[in-house]
Structure 1
């Protein structure tokens, strides 16, 4: 079990912060300001962060997710909250991450310690997750990947490719070669 707190949460961690609206965070008085301008308020249970930069933060990966379908404007300061037990060790080169497809068919990657990790997900390092996510978006949003393939049912093939990319450590080029030899 990890033991992150206000003195070590910013050292090589991965975390998914829950987005708060300005109304939800109106009572928060931020007590610490980092060199990069991010502001923090600490509780016994976790941390609030107000910042205009999320994602790759120094040696950490901190995501900000909204429970609504509205897009978060990363150019404006946004407020997020995370419990201490939602911080995980971030070792970029180790296969600690999996890609998840949400109900709206968006892709993102998470740490294997997340509650919804299942054995069927392929574990990868952070950079491989980023590469596979680009391939997933291309398969999902375009038909370019299907050039030179003899496909009778494009949607069935698209769904098969997405599932293979999510659950195996095979890249799109290898999967396309597999389709060519069927």
Structure 2
């Protein structure tokens, strides 16, 4: 018989959290403890929270992201799990986020400063500043028109150099481009 666990008091309001996708057998036998108006269901355990949802990202006043399983499951509805310790505070004023780029997969994402993998080298930024930088990095990753103004043999090296500067310095994109 499953106990009725209550959610951690700081897990819902103004939080950042990364859930990892799990298979349906993980919630078998668990009692649904909450269902949102949008249709997401929640299961609380002593270790953490399971969320079943077809929408991830911004959640009310929080930022919850799902890391999908490999290979990715077919269903749009995903089940994610996060330990209570994975919920971190979020607000618009503090410099809480840093940016990570995966040059092989050509992706970029933000992480919370409380992430145990944070090496303290990437610049911490506010949510707004982080969003702005990520947009610039995605444009650099997906477009090539910006590169026509540079006399450069390897566009991938140039792209990586600019993105690295955007992550690890306070320089603006314009400053970085001028210095190259």
TM-score by length of 2: 0.84
Q: Which residue of structure 2 aligns with residue 21 of structure 1?
A: 23
Q: For residues 73 and 149 of structure 2, what CA distance do their matches in structure 1 show?
A: 36
Q: Which residue of structure 2 aligns with residue 108 of structure 1?
A: 109
Q: For residues 141 and 72 of structure 1, what CA distance do their matches in structure 2 show?
A: 26
Q: Any idea what the Cα deviations from partners look like across 1:92-130, whole Å, max 9, x if unmatched?
A: 232110111246342110101001111211111112222
Q: Which residue of structure 2 aligns with residue 148 of structure 1?
A: 149
How many aligned positions are there? 174
Matches within 5 A, 1:102-181: 102=102, 104-179=105-180
Q: Which residue of structure 2 aligns with residue 57 of structure 1?
A: 59
Q: Is it true that 1:97 corresponds to 2:97 in the alignment?
A: yes
Query: Given the superposition, is the C-alpha separation of residues 143 and 119 from structure 1 closer, same or farther in structure 2, using an over 3 Å criterion?
Result: same
Asked if the contact 2:22/2:69 (under 8 Å) is kept, the reply is: no
4+ long deviations beyond 6 Å: none
Query: Given the superposition, is the C-alpha separation of residues 68 and 91 from structure 1 closer, same or farther in structure 2, using an over 3 Å criterion?
Result: same
Deviation at 1:178, TM superposition (A): 2.0
Q: For residues 31 and 21 of structure 2, what CA distance do their matches in structure 1 show?
A: 17
Q: For residues 107 and 74 of structure 2, what CA distance do their matches in structure 1 show?
A: 14
Q: For residues 136 and 100 of structure 1, what CA distance do their matches in structure 2 show?
A: 10
Query: Given the superposition, is the C-alpha separation of residues 14 and 136 from structure 1 closer, same or farther in structure 2, using an over 3 Å criterion?
Result: same
Q: Any idea what the Cα deviations from partners look like across 1:36-93, whole Å, max 9, x if unmatched?
A: 32211001110001112211111100001124263887xx322110000000000123
For residue 164 of structure 1, give the secondary structure of its aligned residue in structure 2. Answer: helix
